[in-house]
Structure 1
Amino acid sequence: MLEKLKDRVTPREPEGLDGFSALRVHQDGAVLSVRFDRPETGNAVDSVMLDELLTVLDSVHGRPGIRVVVLSGAGENFCLGGDRQEFGTEIASDPAGDGIHAIGAKARRVCEALATVDAVTIARVHGQAIGAGVALALFCDLRVGADDSRFRMPELALGHPPAWGGALSRLLLEVGAARIRELVLTGRSFYAAEAERLAVLHRVVPETDLDAAVAEWVKPIVRRSPAAQRTTKAMLNAYAASSRLADITLLDSELLAASVARPPRSARGR
């Protein structure tokens, strides 16, 4: 990947970031590539993947040589959303919703880490990005998508609010209330061209050109001052946060758990 930027360094698995089951991670110079590696599930996001993403993103703070993190998906799709089977298992074993609350809290930490990590984060999107997949892409600093990629926020159809990782807040900030209201309430799919108009994507290219598009962004980024880059990211996040009176995303895990929790048997039928 990123042929123009190999810098005569063979891609390798960074020390301490191997042995993952849900991710494939390798470093190529200043670029850390993180690929969702469960194509058989459409790269559905479960607790294991969230834990591994947190490990990777936390490690970037201790690796100042990493200037860019590229997020991508194996197989036909970027990410088909949260793991519904895990949700079902958690609800069945814990109807009060504590397990769902824990998943939601992890999701928020991952999305916050994508937005605030010192490295510039880039989402390389192909196929479908649904629900949690939209959120993970949206929290990256830069987003490029294949021209046939497709997006959807299906949470209402699944019986719960869009309360995963702070996605709704990020959508409102990046896109705007009127358009997001329509997409969230209807749950309709939208394609790459519309995603670019909405700023869900910054660029749209043929799928075969995705790596080249990422490389075009990476090349100038790695030449910049690391200190200036860190400060600029902090400023951008601070100015964005200043437009909100409070961080309502802190309630996302509570809202998600409450929406799927089942009342105890003693309370049913009253």
Structure 2
Amino acid sequence: MIEHFKTLVVQRENAVLTVRLNTPESGNSLSEPLLDDLLTVLGAVQDDPGIRAVVLSGAGADFCLGADRQEFAESLAADPAGTGLRVLGNKARRVCEALSTTGAVTIARLHGGVIGAGVALAVFCDLRAGADTCRFRLPELAVGVAPAWGGVLPRLMNEAGAARIRELILTAGNFDAATAKELSLLHTVVPEEELDSAIARWTKPLVRRSPSALRTAKLMMNAYANANRLADASLFDAELLSSALSAAQYARRG
């Protein structure tokens, strides 16, 4: 299922698919074209039971420096009502949902900066390995928006705990790989040159698993993780994001 994409490098080796964000000149910021390519790839994974694992990584110095803020500004300039941002927000939610619900095990290979929407992309993966030099940040409040990208807030709180995530969002402070592991945002931390070996220790047994058993296990874990959520408020995140940015734009013009 190898295709040529503008924003990704996709390679398959037997039952393992490697997907590398490939816009290093922008820090692999999550633009709409990149989201479109990810949706195409993850849709194909869902239709291919032969793929047992998907490894998501980033080219260049950083895994992902967040959403494409230049794209946000251009979208608002073209449509101050924020219609384009709603479309973008819904694509972000669909990508994150696909990482979580696809039958293959999704693995984040993290290095360099993992910022904002990059944290969201990583935390929706089933397993996360990070270089010991990784740096993380949830900067949304510092740049004047709510933490609404991709429906990340409930996932973060479920994975790492409400109290600590509240602190990280309200302070918008940097934290390192050791802290991320303490919070269960990383499952393992290794020197960057050992990342591939660490991921191979996961993929080697995964490729021997029954595809139906893997899919069922993921369905069960997602169901139990969401059992105490009466409603999925993250469905409103695209609306929240576009409304907040539109209001900020209106205030600046006013």
Query: How would you bin the TM-score normalised by the shorter chain?
Result: over 0.9
**Within 2, Cα distance between the matches of 1:226 and 1:261?**
44
1:55 counterpart (40, 53, 57)? 40
TM-score for the superposition, normalised by structure 1: 0.91
The alignment covers a number of residue pairs equal to 252
Q: Which amino acid aligns with 2:65?
A: L
**Would you say 1:224 and 2:213 are equivalent positions?**
no
**Within 2, Cα distance between the matches of 1:117 and 1:243?**
22
Contact 2:140 2:172 in 1 (8 A): yes
1:151 counterpart (133, 136, 150)? 136
User: Per-residue CA shift, 1:42-92, capped at 9, x if unaligned?
Assistant: 001000000000000000122111100000000000000001110110011
**Would you say 1:207 and 2:188 are equivalent positions?**
no
SS of equivalent residue, structure 2 residue 186: coil
Partner of 1:166: 151
1:260 counterpart (223, 242, 245)? 245
Whichever of the two has the greater Rg, that structure is 1
Partner of 2:90: 105
Q: Which amino acid aligns with 1:188?
A: G
Q: How far 1:243 sits from its partner (Å)?
A: 1.5
Q: How far 1:264 sits from its partner (Å)?
A: 9.9
Partner of 2:68: 83
SS of equivalent residue, structure 2 residue 149: coil
**Would you say 1:92 and 2:77 are equivalent positions?**
yes
**Within 2, Cα distance between the matches of 1:43 and 1:214?**
21
Runs of 4+ aligned structure 1 residues displaced above 3 Å come to: 262-265
Contact 1:96 1:264 in 2 (8 A): no
Partner of 1:74: 59
Q: How far 1:18 sits from its partner (Å)?
A: 1.7
**Within 2, Cα distance between the matches of 1:21 and 1:157?**
31
Q: Which amino acid aligns with 1:144?
A: A
What 5-or-longer segments of structure 2 have no aligned partner? none
C-alpha RMSD of matched pairs (Å): 1.4
Q: How far 1:263 sits from its partner (Å)?
A: 8.6
2:112 counterpart (121, 127, 133)? 127
Tell me which moved more, 57-66 or 211-220: 57-66
What 5-or-longer segments of structure 1 have no aligned partner? 1-13
Contact 2:89 2:237 in 1 (8 A): yes
**Within 1, Cα distance between the matches of 2:173 and 2:247?**
28
Q: Quick check: which one's helix share is greater?
A: 2
